Chain A
Amino acid sequence: MRKFQIYEDKFRCHCEHPKGVKQSRSQKKDCFPIVLSAKYLYSFVIPSEARNLVVRLLRDFVPRNDSVKNCYGQHTMLAMITIFALLCFFLLSFDAYSQGLVVMAKKVSGDLPLEADNSAWNNASAIEIPLAPQVMAKPRTYESSVKNLKVRALHNTKEMAFLLEWSDASEDSSLDVDKFSDAVALEFPSSAAASKPHFAMGDKDNPVNIWFWKASWQNANDMHSTYATSDEFAGGLEVGNPVSRARISPVENIIAQGFGNATDLEKADIQNISGNGKWQSGKWFVVFKRPLTSQDKFDVVFREGSVTPLSLAVWNGSEGDRGGRKVVSTWYYVALETEEKETIYFYPVLAFIGTLGIEAGIIMGIRRKRG
């Protein structure tokens, strides 16, 4: 601490001009804001160890000189180094952060797999998304054994596929009065959303499009046990409740505008999302597949090279999960890998080198002036 104060004093000393030296108006004007901003960053943003390091570097780098000229140069340089360091820091940290936020849908050729054990999935890197119990709307959940889920994504410019993988000790794939099904859902902003919807089921102006897979629908027996013929005593069937009718797919396409109003988008003849789930040694592997585009105005649309928000929910049937009783994530993103990846990487590097060159030029200039 003492050491730091000494350095601080030194700076103040450099800043305060020696008696008798007259400072021009313009010099004062130029010097002040830079010093202020440097000091501001210096004292608030950078931890003391880093500050000491910067000061030491500066001391070694810039020869000590009491002239007004040098005071100006020293502070400019301090500010520039600080800003540069900060930029690097943010760039690197954002990059590291975004690694965990973005699911990169690997571009592959040929048909996308509907099975989790297909080797095509090895191309895609998985990101692990933490899940938390849903506590926003009643009935709430506070405890769950499902803590996270792994997502992989692939696309082939025509279709999009997701592989979701999570741990669940029991396979709950049949319904009973007191038995609930395991399930998983992918949520995207609906194409009809005005802006990015609330991650929890969307909101009135900003609907979300949900792809909902249920183990009980996957269960072949369950899929076919539903009374397919019309029966006036099967109320749900009679009025065409999508939950009641015979399943043609274990996945349901849903639109929601907030809690409690998830609505099935499927028409009996249109089934654009296919899905497949498999439970194996304590883990669920569920694949969703859909064309990138869709005719329905509510369906999410994917484009190569674009980034789409994505959030997830998991239901553990044996823990009584259904409806709002679930674990959820906030918004993550899915990015569709594109051909022009060289350009993507080229421009930042070019910008980086450019900035470096300009900085070097300025520093050299200052040094030359001093010399």
Chain B
Amino acid sequence: MAKNKVKNWQIQREMYYPYEEVRPQKQFAAVFDINKCIACQTCTMACKHTWTTGKGQEYMFWNNVESKPYGFYPLAWDVKILDLLGPQKWEGKVYKGNTIFEAAPKGQVAQGYIPEEIDWAHPNIGEDEPSGSIDKGDFITMPHKVWHFYLARICNHCTYPACVGACPRKAIYKREEDGIVLVDQKRCRGYRECVRACPYKKVLFNNTTKIAEKCIGCYPLAEQGHQTQCVTTCIGRIRLNGWLHTPDKPDPANPVDYLVHIKKIALPLYPQLGLEPNIYYIPPIHVPLPYLIQMFGPDAANAVAAYKNAHKDETLLGALTLFGSTEFWSAKFRVSKGIVTGYGEKGKELVKVPLKEPVFIRPFHDEKLQVYRHNIT
């Protein structure tokens, strides 16, 4: 397996990867707005009911929502890989440290580890655990001194998947048509090299079928132009699926391109690991910047500022309003006269949503029905 230099735009440099740079025709991507997530786990259950109800999948969650900084699934997944990598450095927007491929131990494809069985046994461990203890009176001071937030996670369908690179049987592949990463259920022999290599720990071992399984990006839905189960069922409307272009040719009318490349408000999860993950997060605005930079890279400060000013930016507001407004993939969007319109791939209008819900004030006493209303809006 010869090592190749590939371009990773998220770390603004070339890096080593076991295979050549081959980008799919379209790249499956999604934006998750962390600020709106309430960890209701509807996405988790939607995914579970759709895909992982089989034997051997009892503790398998392709989608999970964990509390940060102390929630994990599997236990300590991110702090472990960060610890294995050791302190690394960003210089401006260029990552000067080692990716997991560059930090690979002798004879291995990537730096990594296999979690223990028990590490997967508590999918919501550390739920609502804040960053520190709360002193008397702290709860009335603003901003709050302690913080936590909810991190919803699925497979990142990375441009440079570590699972693909590590599989000695080439049993994992990235689909040319949409960039969805899949484990060939017939070819896999359960070596768990992918489980070891994936830093996000989103390839899971099924001890009944004795092979690896992972999030399939709801490809049967994606092929029909439907957004994934976890996206469409989100009651907080924090998610949006979209096809992502590379930053050198972004489409400003594509909502995901707009959020990721134009406004740079949605950021990759641990870009320093070097996989070019394709689930983008709008970072939580109340979390200390050093933590956000560690988790989302050097653009975190700008993203937080842009989000705080979103109410002044009609286009941005329009893109954010599309979240949860349609079950179809919006290829393009347009904002005009306070209304955002989502369009399908062939330009078909999918949905029209007002940026601000119109307010109707009804009288306290309804003459026609002869009733009193307490809720008058």
A259 contacts across to B, CB distance below 8 A: 168
Chain A, 149-193, CB within 8 A of any chain B CB: 175-180
In the complex, whether A353 has a CB less than 8 A from a CB of chain B is no
B185 close to A235 (CB less than 8 A): yes
In the complex, whether A21 has a CB less than 8 A from a CB of chain B is no
A139 close to B109 (CB less than 8 A): yes
Chain A binding surface, main DSSP class: loop
CB-nearest residue of chain B to A233 = B54
In the complex, whether B108 has a CB less than 8 A from a CB of chain A is yes
**Known A177-B116, A240-B186; contact A323-B169, beta-carbon cutoff 8 A:** yes
Bound together, the chains give a CA A141 to CA B54 distance in angstroms of 35
B195 close to A177 (CB less than 8 A): yes
Residue of A232, A234, A240 touching B56 (CB-CB under 8 A):
A234
In the complex, whether A28 has a CB less than 8 A from a CB of chain B is no
CB-nearest residue of chain A to B216 = A235
**A-contact 0/1 string along B204-222, CB 8 Å cutoff:** 1111111101000000000
B211 contacts across to A, CB distance below 8 A: 235-236, 241, 243-244
A138 close to B185 (CB less than 8 A): no
A238 close to B185 (CB less than 8 A): yes
Bound together, the chains give a CA A322 to CA B168 distance in angstroms of 11
B209 close to A234 (CB less than 8 A): yes
Residue of B54, B114, B186 touching A231 (CB-CB under 8 A):
B54
A131: shortest Cβ distance to chain B, in Å? 17
B107: shortest Cβ distance to chain A, in Å? 3
Residue of A138, A243, A320 touching B188 (CB-CB under 8 A):
A243
In the complex, whether A23 has a CB less than 8 A from a CB of chain B is no
**Known A177-B115, A227-B56, A231-B55; contact A323-B168, beta-carbon cutoff 8 A:** yes
A177 close to B209 (CB less than 8 A): no
**A-contact 0/1 string along B43-76, CB 8 Å cutoff:** 0000000011111110000000000000000000
Residue of A140, A175, A180, A243 touching B107 (CB-CB under 8 A):
A140
Number of A-B contacts (CB under 8 A): 117
B57: shortest Cβ distance to chain A, in Å? 7
In the complex, whether B248 has a CB less than 8 A from a CB of chain A is no
In the complex, whether A260 has a CB less than 8 A from a CB of chain B is yes
Residue of A244, A260, A322 touching B209 (CB-CB under 8 A):
A244
B168 contacts across to A, CB distance below 8 A: 137-139, 259-260, 323-324
A225 close to B189 (CB less than 8 A): no
A243 close to B189 (CB less than 8 A): yes
CB-nearest residue of chain A to B74 = A177
Bound together, the chains give a CA A320 to CA B108 distance in angstroms of 13
In the complex, whether B190 has a CB less than 8 A from a CB of chain A is yes
Bound together, the chains give a CA A148 to CA B107 distance in angstroms of 22
B185 close to A225 (CB less than 8 A): no
Chain A, 218-270, CB within 8 A of any chain B CB: 225-227, 231-241, 243-244, 259-262
In the complex, whether B139 has a CB less than 8 A from a CB of chain A is no
In the complex, whether B106 has a CB less than 8 A from a CB of chain A is yes
A176 close to B207 (CB less than 8 A): yes
Residue of B1, B115, B169, B210 touching A236 (CB-CB under 8 A):
B210
B187 contacts across to A, CB distance below 8 A: 241
B193 contacts across to A, CB distance below 8 A: 139, 323
Bound together, the chains give a CA A225 to CA B55 distance in angstroms of 11
A234 close to B208 (CB less than 8 A): yes
B16: shortest Cβ distance to chain A, in Å? 13
B210 close to A176 (CB less than 8 A): no
Residue of B57, B195, B210 touching A175 (CB-CB under 8 A):
B210
In the complex, whether A347 has a CB less than 8 A from a CB of chain B is no
A138 close to B52 (CB less than 8 A): no
**Known A225-B208, A260-B169; contact A177-B117, beta-carbon cutoff 8 A:** yes
B109 contacts across to A, CB distance below 8 A: 138-139
In the complex, whether B372 has a CB less than 8 A from a CB of chain A is no
A139 close to B108 (CB less than 8 A): yes
B166 contacts across to A, CB distance below 8 A: 139
Bound together, the chains give a CA A323 to CA B209 distance in angstroms of 17
Bound together, the chains give a CA A84 to CA B207 distance in angstroms of 65
In the complex, whether A142 has a CB less than 8 A from a CB of chain B is yes
A236 close to B120 (CB less than 8 A): no
Chain B, 91-130, CB within 8 A of any chain A CB: 106-109, 114-117, 120
In the complex, whether A83 has a CB less than 8 A from a CB of chain B is no
Bound together, the chains give a CA A244 to CA B116 distance in angstroms of 21
A3: shortest Cβ distance to chain B, in Å? 53
Bound together, the chains give a CA A234 to CA B117 distance in angstroms of 19
Bound together, the chains give a CA A322 to CA B194 distance in angstroms of 13
A268: shortest Cβ distance to chain B, in Å? 15
A324 contacts across to B, CB distance below 8 A: 168
A227 close to B55 (CB less than 8 A): yes
In the complex, whether B170 has a CB less than 8 A from a CB of chain A is yes
Residue of A177, A225, A226, A235 touching B120 (CB-CB under 8 A):
A177
Bound together, the chains give a CA A233 to CA B49 distance in angstroms of 10
Bound together, the chains give a CA A235 to CA B216 distance in angstroms of 12
Of the listed residues B107, B120, B213, the one surrounded by the most CB atoms of chain A closer than 10 A to its CB is B107
B63: shortest Cβ distance to chain A, in Å? 16
A231 contacts across to B, CB distance below 8 A: 54-55
In the complex, whether A45 has a CB less than 8 A from a CB of chain B is no
Closest 8 interchain pairs by CB?
A233-B54, A140-B107, A236-B209, A323-B191, A235-B185, A244-B209, A239-B186, A177-B205
Binding site for B on A (CB under 8 A): 135, 137-142, 175-180, 225-227, 231-241, 243-244, 259-262, 320, 322-324
Q: A140-B108, A179-B117, A236-B209 are in contact. List 11 more A-B contacts (CB 8 A).
A: A142-B106, A175-B207, A176-B207, A177-B204, A227-B56, A234-B208, A234-B209, A235-B206, A236-B206, A262-B169, A323-B191
